[in-house]
Amino acid sequence: MKSKLCIAALLVAFTSLPAFAQQSAKIDPAVVERYVKSAFPKVPEGWQSRVDQDETQRVCTQYHNEPPKAEFDKILAREKAAVVYPADGKVIGNWKEGQKVAQNGRGGQFSDPPGTVSGGNCYGCHQLSGTEVSFGTLGPSLRSYGKDRKFDPAEAKLTYAKIYNSNSVLPCSNMPRFGYHKVLTEQQIKDAVAYLFDPESPVNK
Protein backbone atom coordinates (compact mmCIF):
# COMPACT_ATOMS: atom_id res chain seq x y z
CA MET A 1 0.00 0.00 0.00
CA LYS A 2 2.77 2.36 1.05
CA SER A 3 4.78 1.66 -2.10
CA LYS A 4 1.69 2.24 -4.24
CA LEU A 5 1.26 5.63 -2.64
CA CYS A 6 4.91 6.42 -3.34
CA ILE A 7 4.48 5.50 -7.00
CA ALA A 8 1.38 7.69 -7.17
CA ALA A 9 3.28 10.59 -5.60
CA LEU A 10 6.12 10.08 -8.06
CA LEU A 11 3.76 10.09 -11.01
CA VAL A 12 2.16 13.32 -9.81
CA ALA A 13 5.61 14.86 -9.37
CA PHE A 14 6.70 13.75 -12.82
CA THR A 15 3.63 14.90 -14.69
CA SER A 16 3.88 18.35 -13.15
CA LEU A 17 7.53 18.78 -14.13
CA PRO A 18 7.77 21.32 -16.97
CA ALA A 19 10.67 19.34 -18.49
CA PHE A 20 8.37 16.33 -18.83
CA ALA A 21 5.70 18.40 -20.53
CA GLN A 22 8.25 19.79 -22.97
CA GLN A 23 9.52 16.34 -23.74
CA SER A 24 6.05 14.97 -24.52
CA ALA A 25 5.22 18.02 -26.65
CA LYS A 26 8.10 17.05 -28.96
CA ILE A 27 6.31 13.90 -30.11
CA ASP A 28 5.47 14.29 -33.78
CA PRO A 29 1.66 14.44 -34.14
CA ALA A 30 1.96 12.70 -37.52
CA VAL A 31 3.54 9.68 -35.78
CA VAL A 32 0.70 9.54 -33.21
CA GLU A 33 -1.82 9.84 -36.03
CA ARG A 34 -0.18 6.96 -37.87
CA TYR A 35 -0.31 4.73 -34.78
CA VAL A 36 -3.95 5.54 -34.08
CA LYS A 37 -4.87 4.79 -37.69
CA SER A 38 -2.90 1.53 -37.71
CA ALA A 39 -4.79 0.44 -34.58
CA PHE A 40 -8.02 0.63 -36.58
CA PRO A 41 -7.05 -0.98 -39.88
CA LYS A 42 -10.60 -1.91 -40.83
CA VAL A 43 -12.78 1.04 -40.00
CA PRO A 44 -16.31 0.33 -41.26
CA GLU A 45 -17.92 2.54 -43.90
CA GLY A 46 -18.84 5.96 -42.57
CA TRP A 47 -16.79 5.62 -39.37
CA GLN A 48 -13.54 7.17 -40.59
CA SER A 49 -14.40 10.55 -39.02
CA ARG A 50 -14.18 8.92 -35.59
CA VAL A 51 -10.44 8.48 -35.89
CA ASP A 52 -9.91 11.95 -37.38
CA GLN A 53 -9.50 14.75 -34.85
CA ASP A 54 -11.40 17.95 -35.46
CA GLU A 55 -9.69 21.32 -34.91
CA THR A 56 -10.76 21.48 -31.24
CA GLN A 57 -9.49 17.99 -30.45
CA ARG A 58 -6.24 18.78 -32.24
CA VAL A 59 -5.68 21.93 -30.16
CA CYS A 60 -6.66 20.12 -26.93
CA THR A 61 -4.15 17.36 -27.71
CA GLN A 62 -1.47 19.90 -28.54
CA TYR A 63 -1.88 21.65 -25.17
CA HIS A 64 -2.64 18.52 -23.10
CA ASN A 65 -6.18 19.82 -22.49
CA GLU A 66 -4.90 23.10 -21.05
CA PRO A 67 -5.01 25.52 -23.97
CA PRO A 68 -3.74 29.07 -23.47
CA LYS A 69 -6.40 31.79 -23.08
CA ALA A 70 -6.48 32.79 -26.77
CA GLU A 71 -6.96 29.18 -27.91
CA PHE A 72 -9.47 28.54 -25.11
CA ASP A 73 -11.58 31.48 -26.32
CA LYS A 74 -11.37 30.34 -29.93
CA ILE A 75 -12.58 26.84 -29.00
CA LEU A 76 -15.43 28.29 -26.93
CA ALA A 77 -16.62 30.49 -29.82
CA ARG A 78 -16.34 27.68 -32.38
CA GLU A 79 -18.04 25.05 -30.23
CA LYS A 80 -20.86 27.39 -29.13
CA ALA A 81 -21.58 28.01 -32.80
CA ALA A 82 -21.69 24.22 -33.37
CA VAL A 83 -24.58 23.65 -30.95
CA VAL A 84 -27.85 22.93 -32.79
CA TYR A 85 -30.82 23.84 -30.60
CA PRO A 86 -34.25 22.21 -31.08
CA ALA A 87 -36.28 23.95 -33.78
CA ASP A 88 -39.29 24.16 -31.47
CA GLY A 89 -37.23 26.04 -28.85
CA LYS A 90 -38.09 23.47 -26.16
CA VAL A 91 -35.06 21.95 -24.43
CA ILE A 92 -36.95 19.94 -21.79
CA GLY A 93 -38.39 16.54 -22.73
CA ASN A 94 -39.54 13.59 -20.65
CA TRP A 95 -37.52 12.77 -17.50
CA LYS A 96 -38.53 9.10 -17.50
CA GLU A 97 -37.01 8.70 -20.97
CA GLY A 98 -34.04 10.78 -19.78
CA GLN A 99 -33.43 8.29 -16.99
CA LYS A 100 -33.12 5.54 -19.61
CA VAL A 101 -30.58 7.66 -21.50
CA ALA A 102 -28.62 8.21 -18.28
CA GLN A 103 -28.61 4.51 -17.37
CA ASN A 104 -27.85 3.17 -20.83
CA GLY A 105 -24.17 2.70 -21.59
CA ARG A 106 -24.66 0.81 -24.85
CA GLY A 107 -24.03 1.84 -28.43
CA GLY A 108 -21.19 3.33 -30.41
CA GLN A 109 -19.42 0.02 -31.13
CA PHE A 110 -19.14 -1.38 -34.61
CA SER A 111 -20.04 -4.83 -33.25
CA ASP A 112 -23.50 -3.48 -32.22
CA PRO A 113 -26.46 -5.23 -33.83
CA PRO A 114 -28.32 -2.92 -36.22
CA GLY A 115 -30.93 -0.75 -34.49
CA THR A 116 -29.06 -0.57 -31.15
CA VAL A 117 -30.19 2.55 -29.30
CA SER A 118 -27.19 4.44 -27.94
CA GLY A 119 -27.28 5.76 -24.39
CA GLY A 120 -25.49 8.65 -22.69
CA ASN A 121 -24.06 6.53 -19.85
CA CYS A 122 -24.33 9.60 -17.58
CA TYR A 123 -24.14 7.32 -14.52
CA GLY A 124 -20.77 6.10 -15.76
CA CYS A 125 -19.36 9.48 -14.69
CA HIS A 126 -21.99 11.25 -12.55
CA GLN A 127 -24.18 10.75 -9.52
CA LEU A 128 -27.76 11.77 -10.44
CA SER A 129 -30.65 10.16 -8.54
CA GLY A 130 -30.13 9.72 -4.80
CA THR A 131 -31.46 6.15 -4.94
CA GLU A 132 -28.98 4.88 -7.55
CA VAL A 133 -25.98 3.45 -5.68
CA SER A 134 -23.81 2.66 -8.69
CA PHE A 135 -22.21 5.66 -10.39
CA GLY A 136 -18.83 6.97 -11.51
CA THR A 137 -17.10 10.03 -10.16
CA LEU A 138 -15.11 11.31 -13.12
CA GLY A 139 -17.68 14.10 -13.42
CA PRO A 140 -19.23 16.12 -10.58
CA SER A 141 -22.36 14.93 -8.78
CA LEU A 142 -25.53 16.19 -10.51
CA ARG A 143 -27.81 15.56 -7.50
CA SER A 144 -30.53 18.26 -7.28
CA TYR A 145 -29.09 19.87 -10.42
CA GLY A 146 -32.29 21.63 -11.55
CA LYS A 147 -33.50 22.38 -8.06
CA ASP A 148 -30.20 24.03 -7.13
CA ARG A 149 -30.62 26.22 -10.22
CA LYS A 150 -34.23 27.11 -9.27
CA PHE A 151 -35.38 25.31 -12.45
CA ASP A 152 -34.22 28.39 -14.38
CA PRO A 153 -35.03 27.98 -18.13
CA ALA A 154 -31.76 29.73 -19.10
CA GLU A 155 -29.82 27.14 -17.08
CA ALA A 156 -31.79 24.35 -18.76
CA LYS A 157 -30.83 25.78 -22.16
CA LEU A 158 -27.16 25.91 -21.12
CA THR A 159 -27.42 22.29 -19.97
CA TYR A 160 -28.82 21.30 -23.37
CA ALA A 161 -25.73 22.93 -24.91
CA LYS A 162 -23.47 21.16 -22.39
CA ILE A 163 -24.87 17.74 -23.29
CA TYR A 164 -25.00 18.51 -27.02
CA ASN A 165 -21.40 19.67 -27.05
CA SER A 166 -19.55 19.75 -23.71
CA ASN A 167 -16.75 21.82 -25.26
CA SER A 168 -19.16 24.70 -25.89
CA VAL A 169 -19.16 25.28 -22.12
CA LEU A 170 -15.71 24.00 -21.14
CA PRO A 171 -13.04 23.65 -23.84
CA CYS A 172 -11.18 20.31 -23.75
CA SER A 173 -13.77 18.81 -21.38
CA ASN A 174 -13.54 15.06 -20.75
CA MET A 175 -17.28 14.76 -21.19
CA PRO A 176 -18.43 13.27 -24.52
CA ARG A 177 -19.99 15.63 -27.10
CA PHE A 178 -23.24 13.72 -27.42
CA GLY A 179 -25.13 15.75 -30.03
CA TYR A 180 -22.11 16.97 -31.96
CA HIS A 181 -20.88 13.39 -32.43
CA LYS A 182 -24.42 12.09 -33.05
CA VAL A 183 -24.33 9.65 -30.11
CA LEU A 184 -27.68 10.94 -28.84
CA THR A 185 -30.61 12.31 -30.81
CA GLU A 186 -32.10 15.75 -30.17
CA GLN A 187 -35.02 14.07 -28.35
CA GLN A 188 -32.69 12.03 -26.13
CA ILE A 189 -30.79 15.19 -25.18
CA LYS A 190 -34.07 16.96 -24.33
CA ASP A 191 -35.03 13.95 -22.19
CA ALA A 192 -31.65 14.04 -20.41
CA VAL A 193 -32.19 17.76 -19.72
CA ALA A 194 -35.62 16.86 -18.28
CA TYR A 195 -33.97 14.27 -16.03
CA LEU A 196 -31.92 17.14 -14.58
CA PHE A 197 -34.56 19.90 -14.69
CA ASP A 198 -37.99 18.33 -14.10
CA PRO A 199 -39.08 18.92 -10.48
CA GLU A 200 -40.60 15.40 -10.54
CA SER A 201 -37.33 13.74 -11.57
CA PRO A 202 -35.60 11.64 -8.87
CA VAL A 203 -32.52 13.82 -9.49
CA ASN A 204 -34.37 16.65 -7.72
CA LYS A 205 -36.04 14.57 -4.97
Which residues contact ligand HEC (rule: CB under 6 A)? 101-102, 120-122, 124-126, 138-140, 142, 159, 162-163, 166, 170, 173-176, 178, 192
Nearer to ligand HEC, 25 or 165 (CB): 165
- The gap from C-alpha 130 to its chain's centroid, in whole angstroms, comes to 22
Smallest distance, Å, CB 195 to ligand HEC? 7
Round to whole Å and give the CA distance between 11 and 203. Answer: 37
Burial of 194: CB neighbours in 10 Å, binned 0-12, 13-18, 19+: buried
Nearer to ligand HEC, 29 or 136 (CB): 136
Nearer to ligand HEC, 13 or 117 (CB): 117
Smallest distance, Å, CB 149 to ligand HEC? 9
Smallest distance, Å, CB 203 to ligand HEC? 9
Nearer to ligand HEC, 33 or 155 (CB): 155
Round to whole Å and give the CA distance between 176 and 133. Answer: 23
What's the Cα-to-Cα distance from 1 to each of 5, 7, 13, 14, 198, rounded to whole Å? 6, 10, 18, 20, 44
